Structure 1
Amino acid sequence: MAQGKMKVKSKAPPSSKKVVSKKGNAFSKRKNAPIQSKKHKFQESAKLKQAVSKTVNKKNEDEIRKLVYEGQKNLSQAQQAVVEHHKRQPTSNQAGGSSSSK
């Protein structure tokens, strides 16, 4: 049997430990962030501008093509009759059903 004092590990005084304050990240991402990043906002506006310009350009191109090819279409006699009928029809409808006061 061993006799004598038991060896005890010495503890350092509590004041000698350095206290390191851990700073948080400058920007922490949340999974469901209600505010989107600035880049996303600019991308969204760029997509909208591009879509609007595409539709406007397409419509303008269709109108120009319509004006250019208006007299060049070869229609059958039945198709020409339908076109003539539609040209005459709006004038007769305006006289009877017009709600505008003159």
Structure 2
Amino acid sequence: MHRVSLIENEEQVTEFRIEEGQTIFDAIQDQGLTLPHGCLSGSCGSCRIQIIEGSDNLQRPGIIEENTIEAIAPEHTEVAQGHIRLACRAKVTGDIKFSILK
């Protein structure tokens, strides 16, 4: 189990545990929380999040996630660095901190 911290309003933190390989979206839903979402397949980008710490603790994005992130934020330099991910596709391999992108 890994620790995930959701940072809201730069102060408020919601922490929970997540199983190895579980998506961030599913783990949040298991906690009774809801993220913005649309397709839940990685195509719409509604569930985009910003990884604040632990971007190396996520499985590498697949082609669908990479293409969607490039389409929704082509000018964003953090895309290449792995700081923007899709919660419905990002699978955890270690502790992370993230915030919801609006």
**TM-score, structure 2 as length reference:** 0.18
Larger radius of gyration: 1
Between structures 1 and 2, the one with greater strand share: 2
Specify which structure has the bigger relative contact order, considering alpha-carbon pairs within 8 angstroms and separated by 6 or more residues: 2
